[in-house]
Amino acid sequence: MKFTTGIIVVIVAIVIFYLRIALLRGRKKRYEREFALKRRKVNGRSKGTALPSPKPGSSPYKVTSWFLVAASIALMLIGMIAYNNFMVVGIELIKDPATIKALSEYWYIPVAAGVILLGFCVTIEKPRLNE
């Protein structure tokens, strides 16, 4: 496999995405520890008492804006179409070869932007005490 500038930029964007998710997972665990300590202090629980757990199947991740998720997916699709020389299922979207050549050289920019934008559309919600 030949590594080009575009492939390297997309790989770096994907690594940034996964680092963001890993940071969110670490933040989730820190929030859970803080939440457990606060509940024990508030309710006078002993150290060995089990704490209520979240509902099974509930995701700890929350989406900040579904519009931005759709925009990031659209950006990635535009980049993939540009990578394929603006051909979708055998249909040529742009007829001018000079325009195709000029635009398809930079296919990796919308793909990388979409991946990074998608990474920042996801967040962790801090647990709250029942007050």
Query: What is the tally of structural domains in the chain?
Result: 1
Low-confidence spans in the chain with pLDDT less than 70: 38-58, 126-131
DSSP letter, residue 121: T
In a domain, 56, yes or no: yes
In a domain, 85, yes or no: yes
pLDDT tens digits, residue range 16-40?
999 998 898 888 778 777 777 766 6
Q: Containing domain of residue 31, as a range?
A: 5-124
In a domain, 129, yes or no: no
In a domain, 55, yes or no: yes
* Complete DSSP assignment for 75-108: HHHHHHHHHTTTEETTEES---HHHHHHHHTTTH
Predicted TM-score (pTM) of the model is 0.73
DSSP letter, residue 125: P
Q: Reduced to 3 states, what is the DSSP secondary structure of residue 124?
A: strand
In a domain, 33, yes or no: yes
